[in-house]
Homo-oligomer: A and B are copies of this chain.
Amino acid sequence: MVRVSIIGASGLVGECLIRALLGHPQCTIALLVSDHAAGRKISDLLPPLRGEIDAVTVSASVDEVANASDVVFTAKKGSETFAVVPGLIKAGVKVIDIGGEFRFKDPATYEEWYKEPHQCKNLLADAVYGLPELFKEQIKAAKLVGNPGCYVTSATLALAPLIAEDLIETDGLIIDAYSGLSGAGRQFNQKLSNLFVDIDSNMRAYSVGVHRHTPEIEQSLSFVAKKPVKVTFVPHLVPLDRGILTTAFARPRPGVTSEKLIEGMRRFYSQKEAPFVRVLDTVGEVAINNTVRSNYCDISAQLIERTQQVVISSTLDNLVKGAAGQALQNLNLMCGFDETMGLKGRTL
């Protein structure tokens, strides 16, 4: 059994990670680290887990975590993550970081968009971007994985095949995305302007032009396009607990049809052996409800002939394929398990 610890266990992603691990046949939960809540039963912090797990959260040194664990999920931010990852890696523990710290090849990008210095630049060369649909082989060999952002996963899985198959132009890409509130975490939910009475029955754009997932989408799509790609990314809040819907727009390459778009998506993911991407026949079938609590990402595309615009739709659960489920998928690959273990036939 692989011993797995979570640093930052008491948040929304933590709950989903614990649930994922509890049902995984080859993993056992080692330490649940939560400095601010140490000593409390995790099921008191996360009441849906009552009866499922008896563990108590702990405050533990990097060495203690390393000794107890084969794999560690780090679900903290910035300097708190930088403080623990080097020691874990040095001790030979595999690390999957849920935050943004190890997603960028170029630390300057992190520093520009996250507004803080990158404190582990020497680890970046060996860090692998944890999007299995693009980097499966690298992930299998990785010691340190940067787990992708939720919006990024949704947008990249929809656009990558169309770029790779040369079906859309790579300039002028527009990504309009809509996320439920769990995507933002508890801190965000606590701000005065994000209260229930302000969010329920409401919708609005936010972080227009400055959202941190922008450069991450661009890094992924540039990798696929083999040239620099820029995107216009506009995230919105919608009154949902869970789920992201992405509607993207691109100009078609000459001769493209709706059928070719769908075929291209299917060919791409068939070659990639991607068990969690489902290509649907029409954009109208891509609906948040069909992916909520699962590790699937549903995608489709359509050419609007009269305006020669390609409309691309993508949906996933921000806490599962957008966070904890994808993290478990990465763990499976890093540990040599079947990629779908603990993720198919289940919801989280």
Q: Do A201 and B240 touch (CB < 8 A)?
A: yes
Known: A178-B178, A186-B195, A205-B286. A241 touches B278 (CB 8 A): no
Considering the complex, give the chain B residue whose CB is closest to the CB of A249. B174
Q: Do B245 and A307 touch (CB < 8 A)?
A: no
Mark each residue of chain A from 314 to 348: 1 if its CB lies under 8 Å from any CB of chain B, else 0: 01000000000000000000000000000011111
Task: Let me know if A22 is at the binding interface, CB within 8 A.
Answer: yes
Q: Do A289 and B202 touch (CB < 8 A)?
A: yes
**Most B Cβ at <10 Å: residue of A181, A196, A200, A203:** A196
Q: Do B19 and A347 touch (CB < 8 A)?
A: yes
**Most B Cβ at <10 Å: residue of A278, A289, A296:** A289
Tell me the chain A residues, 267-311 only, with Cβ under 8 Å from chain B: 275-276, 278, 280, 282-294, 296, 298, 302, 304-307, 309, 311
Q: Which chain B residues border A195 with CB–CB below 8 Å? A: 181, 186, 189-190, 194-196
Task: Let me know if A247 is at the binding interface, CB within 8 A.
Answer: yes
Known: A50-B278, A289-B48, A347-B348. A203 touches B245 (CB 8 A): yes
Q: Could you say how many copies of this chain the assembly holds?
A: 4
Q: CA–CA, A307 to B232, complex, Å? A: 6
Q: Which chain B residues border A181 with CB–CB below 8 Å? A: 195-197, 200
Q: Which chain B residues border A278 with CB–CB below 8 Å? A: 50-51
Min Cβ gap A72→B in Å is 21
Task: Let me know if A204 is at the binding interface, CB within 8 A.
Answer: yes
Q: CA–CA, A206 to B182, complex, Å? A: 23
Task: Let me know if A209 is at the binding interface, CB within 8 A.
Answer: yes
Task: Let me know if A234 is at the binding interface, CB within 8 A.
Answer: yes
Q: Do A204 and B287 touch (CB < 8 A)?
A: yes
Q: Which chain B residues border A306 with CB–CB below 8 Å? A: 209, 230
Instruction: From B172, B174, B196, B205, give the contact of A199 (CB < 8 A).
Output: B196
Q: Do B245 and A284 touch (CB < 8 A)?
A: no
Give me 14 other A-B pairs in contact (C-beta within 8 A), A203-B288, A208-B304 excluded: A12-B197, A178-B203, A186-B195, A189-B197, A194-B196, A201-B240, A204-B313, A205-B313, A208-B282, A208-B283, A209-B304, A230-B306, A231-B307, A346-B347
Q: What are 28 A-to-B residue pairs whose CB atoms are below 8 Å?
A: A22-B345, A23-B23, A47-B290, A48-B294, A51-B275, A51-B296, A52-B345, A172-B307, A174-B249, A176-B249, A178-B203, A178-B238, A181-B195, A181-B197, A186-B195, A190-B190, A194-B196, A197-B241, A202-B287, A204-B287, A205-B313, A208-B282, A208-B311, A230-B307, A231-B307, A232-B309, A234-B247, A293-B293
The 7 closest A-B pairs by CB, nearest first: A204-B287, A189-B195, A22-B345, A23-B345, A202-B289, A232-B309, A209-B304
